[in-house]
Amino acid sequence: MEFRILIRLFTLSFLAWNVVSCTKEVQIDIPGYKDQMVIDGSIETGQPAIVFLSKSNNVYSETNFQAYLDGFISGATVIISNGTETDTLSEICSDNLPPGTEEVAAAFFGIPVDQLVNLHLCAYVSFGMLGEVGKTYTLKVIHNGKEYNSTTQIAQATPLDSLYWKPEGSFTDRGFSWAKLSDPLSNNDAYCWQVKYIGMPNFKKTFNPFFNDKFFNGKTFDFAYENPMSFDDPNGDPNYRGYYKAGDTIVVKLSKIGKAEYNFFEKKYNQIYSGGNPFSTPTNVPTNIQGGALGVWVGYSPWFDTLVCQ
Amino acid sequence: MLLQDVKLVQIPKWNMKILLSFLLLFISSISFSQTKVTLSGYITDSKDGEAMMDVKVYIPSLKLGAMSNNYGFYSLTVAPGKYQVEFRSVTYGAEIKELDLTKSQVFSIELGSKTTDVNEVVVNLKKTENVTSTKMGQIELQMDQVKTLPAFMGEVDIIKTIQLLPGVSSVSEGGQGFYVRGGGPDQNLVLLDEGVVYNAAHLFGFFSVFNADAVKSVNLIKGGMPANFGGRMSSVLEVNMNEGNMKKLKVTGGIGAISSRLTLEGPLKKDKGSFIVSGRRTYIDILLKAAISDTSPFAGSSYFFYDFNAKLNYKLSAKDRIFLSGYYGKDVFNFSDNQGGFGANMPWGNGIAALRWNHLFSDKLFMNLTTTFSDYMFKFGSQQDEFRFELASGIRDVGAKVDFSYFPNPAHRIKWGADYKYHTFTPTSVTAQNDTTVFDTGAAQKLFSHEAAAYVLDEFDLNDQLRLNVGLRYSAFAHVGPFTRYVKGDGISTQDTTIQYNRGDLIKFYHGLEPRVSLRWLLPDNSSIKAGYAYNYQYVHLTSLSAVSLPTDIWFPTTDIAKPEKGWQGSVGYFRNFFNDKFESSVEVYYKGIKNLIEFKEGALPGDNVSDNTDNLLVFGEGWAYGIEFYFKKSVGRFTGWVGYTWAKTERRFPDINEGNIYPAKYDRRHDLSVVGTYKLNERWTFSASFIYATGNTLTLPSSWYVQEQNLLFNYGARNSTRMSPYHRLDLSATLYSKAYKTKTDPATGKEIEVKKKYRSNWSFSIYNVYNRMNPFFLYVDNDGDFLAGNFKLTVKQVSLFPIIPSATWNFEF
């Protein structure tokens, strides 16, 4: 993650460059488009697997909301297995959600409940199998005669040693969340940091929520994360964005993920934050799915803790 | 162990047979018993005592001649007799001497006191060089002309002038990297007084490290590389520094839009030794400081570069001379975001030193012994609140080289020698600390290697029509310990492990033969046909994660995983002069094939080589390039200049890139046209113009988008499948010289006479990009709007860097 500082510097230079240089829109031929299946699947401890299927779109195609909706794929066969048991996932759609799940689904899609229930957004859910620590899960997706396969694992979660809050800089009532983590000695430990205010239905990821132990394998160290919810309020004071205020109570979810899955998310966020500038190379996000699909199949092993900011 | 990679030597059998036949022919032809005498000596400039290279020493009655070498030494062996000997130079024309050569004699001469028609001699020399020599794809720049060409922001730039030659193209707008006949920027051997320059650019590539005031000569070899050069696949750019004025103290300098420079030179002891020191510094940081207030969050941000050249030389005796050259240059970039608690410092630069000893063993045998030191380093340090991070990379060479030149008779010019370098590479060294927690970034990776070569070559005339230059180079490379090899596991069934090598352990050894042959067949109509073949090995590589050249690009050696690049180039050309030799022209076709090319794996990130070996992130492939070059030049008269056009194709194939399909190299350009002209109106005004047109560069853009967890992601299309719009630009310049003479009353006669001014100056005005063409620097896909709100839009944006830029520079000398 430290190299992102270097990327940030170059990105800042790139932005400065944009100020002094001339930028204009051009029409240019971009060959190489091919229609690909996109699989976005996950399973975590104690939770069913959820798999979204969609397709990629030509960069010059419509990029409006309808195109996004049209991209979802129905009618596929989705099967997961933990080595001993197999479950064929059920397709559920936003216009026919099981009672009580509307709010969770709305938060997941980032769409208000009243709009979501009028849309036809479909996902595949393993009602017959929940994630268990130590098990390896294979995913098989069959659609239009093509088969896609992937494997992920739910590892043993790594607990945080402690969680605390402290004022930042000149503030007395605003600050980041801090945590102390003792990383296991094994290599390639990777984590995902998510957070929510207590009472919220869904966890929210920070701007760059994934990190691995490349620089601190086996070490105990302290680190901070910003408050991602503070950016959701368009009327919020911009000076306070990123901070928790004294008195906030939050729930932290630190999930362990595998190496290939971390590789996907690392490259994904690298593309999001550096894509387009000339100092970066064109980087496709590496999938862990075989068969020609894009996306990821990831197993999360979460550990939860609650922090009262004081 | 030492023979484990013998299979790398894949010289075709027919090739070796031809080579051996030539060697036998050469041995038999140099041993003849007839009594001969040798005329030898040094040629220097009477103006400043500097050695003059490429002066032709010619005996018209025998139709025999020789050329002076880089150190001004010449040797010509002929039958005894009295001869008129001509010393022909581009600068001063011809001086003719009556010499009694009944016995061998040393005759050193200072040229410039008596001159004939310079233009006529230039024509003669050019005719000799263009049509009669075996040189193909070799161009020597005239520094006087370089200084009058349009200059970007007023900075006279050797590299940008080279980019105007056929077969040479620039990396990007304003960039210093150059591609020669489809080779990458790292495939050019850039030498400053025989020291290797690993990064020839300042300011992220916009300016050259070569201060034109300190440069004496520039020679580019883009094909038919002779056997005395090696270690790179594509070209040699040989830059020689001025030696310093042997006669008097001289000061030159200039004040430009972004930098100023000052050069001081003079004798250490008149006609025995001299020195030159030259410095240059930008003042962008001072301008930035004025532009950014102390209260600005970006206060403290700055950028500047400086460089310093120095050279000493001393004649120890009639047969011995030493030279000590040095270069040190540095760029420093500071960035402060006080509001965000972020600060960064990024220095990078080269240091080069060379100590040379010229010794004359006899009037036929000349030796140059050179010890060199080259260092390139890049550092980056940053602090974000309590997090501190430092990164460094670089390469350091210590080496020695010996070259012998032997002139047994006028038909043979033989060279042999050896070269050795000890490389220390630091691809990445990282430290990181958060408050009191020190992160484990692994030990600083250093790689050590020995590179050595030996060569022999002979340029000889088989008959009046056929001249051959046959050479053989043997090169070897050893990667040695200490070294830690990281073996990566998949994290599930296999874990990461390391293999430790101790100091001096031989990790991998490579070697190979590099035959070089070129020939010239003289045709009766003032023209010739030439052909060349060269086989090369390259043991050091530049790896880049960026789409543009940056100082962060990493030099990396050949290892057990990264094999040496190897390949060959063949070229055939037709050379002809026109209009009584005032115009010279050539057409050359070439083909180049290279194996073991290196690229980063798709998706590799800069941080991936921490606690890992850089070569674990590399993939390997092959490439080829072919093209045809047209060159038409006028080098005499008031109007001089050239037109160069290249049609070329450059492709790559890597099994792990672009799904193994062939793709165009990022510097694949179908058409490249340059037109350069200089018109000397009178003694005070000179005007120049240059125009270039080039097919747009290739790049990779996203061909599709998809959504994952509410994030829009791109999937890139085929590698380098998008081509930017063509690049074209016109630059103009005018140079106004102060009057060279002033009127003075002669105290003896009382009459007014004209005397040469000691102090001279000139104003150089340039306009870059006269018609304000918005040339593409790069393209990117931009997104705007809210996806869920339905106003989201993807567009391709083109970024252009430099609009029309006028500049003025004031230069002086006294």
Tens digits of per-residue pLDDT, B559-605? 999 999 999 999 999 999 888 778 889 999 999 999 999 988 877 76
Encode B408-417: b = buried (16+ Cβ within 10 Å), e = exposed. bbbbbbbbbb
ipTM: 0.89
In three-state form (DSSP H/G/I as H, E/B as E, the rest C), the secondary structure along chain A is CCHHHHHHHHHHHHHHHHHHCEEEEECCCCCCCCCCEEEEEEEEECCEEEEEEEECEECCCCCCHHHHHHCECCCCEEEEECCCCEEECEEEEHHHCCCCCHHHHHHHHCCCHHHHCCCCCEEEEEEEEEECCCCEEEEEEEECCEEEEEEEECCCCCCEEEEEECCCCCCCCEECEEEEEECCCCCCCEEEEEEEECCCCCCEEEEEEEEECCCCCCCEEEEEECEHHHHCCCCCCHHHCECEECCCEEEEEEEEECHHHHHHHHHHHHHHHHCCCCCCCCCCCCCCEECCCEEEEEEEEEEEEEEECC
pLDDT, residue A5, reads 47
- A25, closest residue in chain B (CA to CA): B797
Distance from CA of B424 to the nearest CA of A (A): 24
- Assess whether pLDDT exceeds 50 at residue A3: no
User: CB of A284 within 8 Å of any CB in chain B?
Assistant: yes
Most confident of the ranges A164-178, B3-17, B776-790: A164-178
Gap between the Cα atoms of A257 and B331, Å rounded = 42
pLDDT band at A178 (very low <50, low <70, confident <90, very high): very high
Structure tokens at B788: 């869920």
On whether the CB atoms of residues B423 and B452 are closer than 8 A, the answer is: no
Residue scoring higher pLDDT (B556 or B788): B556
Gap between the Cα atoms of B374 and B767, Å rounded = 36
Contact across the interface for B434 and A65, Cβ inside 8 Å: no
C-alpha triplet A61, B801, B308: angle, nearest 5°: 140
pLDDT band at A273 (very low <50, low <70, confident <90, very high): confident
**Phi, psi at residue A146, to the nearest 5°?**
-105, 150
Distance from CA of A267 to the nearest CA of B (A): 7
Structure tokens at A122: 């479909």
pLDDT band at B126 (very low <50, low <70, confident <90, very high): very low
- Assess whether pLDDT exceeds 90 at residue A182: yes
User: CB of A113 within 8 Å of any CB in chain B?
Assistant: no
**Phi, psi at residue B707, to the nearest 5°?**
-120, 135
pLDDT, residue A61, reads 82
pLDDT band at A41 (very low <50, low <70, confident <90, very high): very high
Q: For residue B287, give the nearest of B263, B267, B306, B303 by alpha carbon.
A: B303
Dmax over Cα atoms in chain A, in whole Å? Answer: 62
Contact across the interface for B715 and A221, Cβ inside 8 Å: no
Most confident of the ranges A45-49, A295-299, B128-132, B461-465: A295-299
Strand partners, B109: B43
Handedness of CA B23, B25, B28, B29 (dihedral sign): negative
Mutation to test the B interface, candidates A19, A21, A30, A202, most B Cβ within 10 Å: A30
What are the chain B neighbours of A283 within 8 Å (beta carbons)? 602-603, 605, 716
Tens digits of per-residue pLDDT, B710-749? 788 999 888 888 999 999 999 999 999 988 888 888 888 8
- Assess whether pLDDT exceeds 60 at residue A6: no
Encode B675-707: b = buried (16+ Cβ within 10 Å), e = exposed. bbbbbbeeeeebbbbbbbebbbbbbbbbbbbbb
The strand order across the sheet containing A289-290 reads A86-88, A77-81, A136-143, A146-153, A289-290
Among the partner-chain residues B550, B705, B797, the one whose CB lies closest to the CB of A23 is: B797
How many angstroms separate the Cα of B56 from the Cα of each of A87, B76, B94, B122, B635? Answer: 88, 11, 9, 11, 17
Dmax over Cα atoms in chain B, in whole Å? Answer: 102
What are the chain A neighbours of B335 within 8 Å (beta carbons)? 9, 12-13
pLDDT band at B548 (very low <50, low <70, confident <90, very high): low
How many angstroms separate the Cα of A63 from the Cα of each of A33, A73, B155? Answer: 15, 17, 47
In three-state form (DSSP H/G/I as H, E/B as E, the rest C), the secondary structure along B417-442 is EEEEEEEEEEEEEEEEEECCEECCCC
Q: Do domains A35-154 and A160-256+304-308 have the same CATH topology?
A: yes
With H, G, I as helix, E, B as strand and everything else as coil, classify residue B686. Answer: strand
Q: What class does CATH assign to B34-116?
A: mainly beta
Residue type, B85: V
In three-state form (DSSP H/G/I as H, E/B as E, the rest C), the secondary structure along B747-813 is CCCCCEEEEECCCEEEEEEEEECCCCCCCCCEEEEEEECCCCCCCCEEEEEEEECCCCEEEEEEEEE
The percent of residues in chain B predicted with pLDDT above 90, rounded, is 38
- Assess whether pLDDT exceeds 60 at residue B28: no
Residue scoring higher pLDDT (B217 or A113): B217
pLDDT, residue B609, reads 66
Residue scoring higher pLDDT (A189 or A20): A189
Tell me if the bond preceding B482 is cis, omega within 30° of 0: yes
Query: Average pLDDT in the A6-12 region?
Result: 47
Radius of gyration of chain B from Cα atoms?
A: 28
- Assess whether pLDDT exceeds 80 at residue A103: no
Q: Are strands B105-106 and B37-45 parallel, antiparallel or unpaired?
A: parallel
Residue scoring higher pLDDT (B776 or B284): B776
Strand partners, B305: B331
How many angstroms separate the Cα of B379 from the Cα of each of A9, A85, B26? Answer: 14, 54, 51
DSSP character string of B311-347 = EEEEE-SSSEEEEEEEEEEEEEEEEEETTTTEEEEEE
Determine which helix (DSSP H) or strand (DSSP E) holds B688, and give its type and residue range.
strand B685-694
Residue type, B407: F
**Phi, psi at residue B272, to the nearest 5°?**
-115, -40
DSSP character string of B478-532 = EEESSEEEEE---SSSS--EEEEE-TT-EEEEEEEEEEEEEEEEEETTTEEEEEE
Among the partner-chain residues A56, A169, A278, the one whose CB lies closest to the CB of B715 is: A56
Query: Average pLDDT in the B316-326 region?
Result: 92
Gap between the Cα atoms of B118 and B121, Å rounded = 5
Write down the residue that tokens 């990776």 correspond to. B445
pLDDT, residue B409, reads 83
CATH topology classification for A160-256+304-308: Immunoglobulin-like (2.60.40)
Query: Average pLDDT in the A213-222 region?
Result: 83
Structure tokens at B560: 């057990």
Average pLDDT taken over every residue of chain B: 84
With H, G, I as helix, E, B as strand and everything else as coil, classify residue B307. Answer: strand
- Assess whether pLDDT exceeds 70 at residue B129: no
Every domain of chain A and the residues it spans: 35-154, 160-256+304-308
Most confident of the ranges A274-278, B335-339, B366-370, B719-723: B366-370
- Residue B661 CB contacts under 8 Å (≥ 6 apart), including other chains: B653, B718
Q: Are strands B702-708 and A57-58 parallel, antiparallel or unpaired?
A: antiparallel
Contact across the interface for B437 and A219, Cβ inside 8 Å: yes
On whether the CB atoms of residues B625 and B182 are closer than 8 A, the answer is: yes
pLDDT, residue B253, reads 92
Tens digits of per-residue pLDDT, B415-443? 999 999 999 998 877 777 776 667 666 66
Gap between the Cα atoms of B159 and B163, Å rounded = 6
Gap between the Cα atoms of B374 and B424, Å rounded = 10
pLDDT band at B174 (very low <50, low <70, confident <90, very high): low
- Assess whether pLDDT exceeds 80 at residue A287: yes
With H, G, I as helix, E, B as strand and everything else as coil, classify residue B51. Answer: strand
Give burial (CB, 10 Å; 0-12/13-18/19+) of B339.
exposed
CATH among 1.10.8, 3.30.450, 2.60.120, 2.60.40 for A35-154: 2.60.40
User: CB of A216 within 8 Å of any CB in chain B?
Assistant: yes
Distance of CA B271 to the CA centre of its chain: 31
Among the partner-chain residues A29, A38, A217, the one whose CB lies closest to the CB of B708 is: A38
pLDDT band at A102 (very low <50, low <70, confident <90, very high): confident
- Residue A91 CB contacts under 8 Å (≥ 6 apart), including other chains: A74, A75, A76, A78, A122, A123, A124
Gap between the Cα atoms of A95 and A274, Å rounded = 37
pLDDT, residue B441, reads 66
- B700, closest residue in chain A (CA to CA): A282
pLDDT, residue B185, reads 85
Distance from CA of A214 to the nearest CA of B (A): 7
Q: Are strands A294-308 and A249-257 parallel, antiparallel or unpaired?
A: antiparallel
- How many C-beta atoms lie closer than 10 Å to residue A273's C-beta? 15
The length of chain A is 310
The DSSP code for B181 is: T
pLDDT, residue B264, reads 95
Among the partner-chain residues B439, B547, B706, the one whose CB lies closest to the CB of A278 is: B547
Tens digits of per-residue pLDDT, B241-290? 999 998 889 999 999 888 899 999 999 988 889 999 999 998 877 777 77
Among the partner-chain residues B439, B604, B713, the one whose CB lies closest to the CB of A215 is: B439
Residue scoring higher pLDDT (A295 or A33): A295
Q: For residue B604, give the nearest of B543, B660, B558 by alpha carbon.
A: B543
On whether the CB atoms of residues B42 and B71 are closer than 8 A, the answer is: yes
On whether the CB atoms of residues B93 and B111 are closer than 8 A, the answer is: no
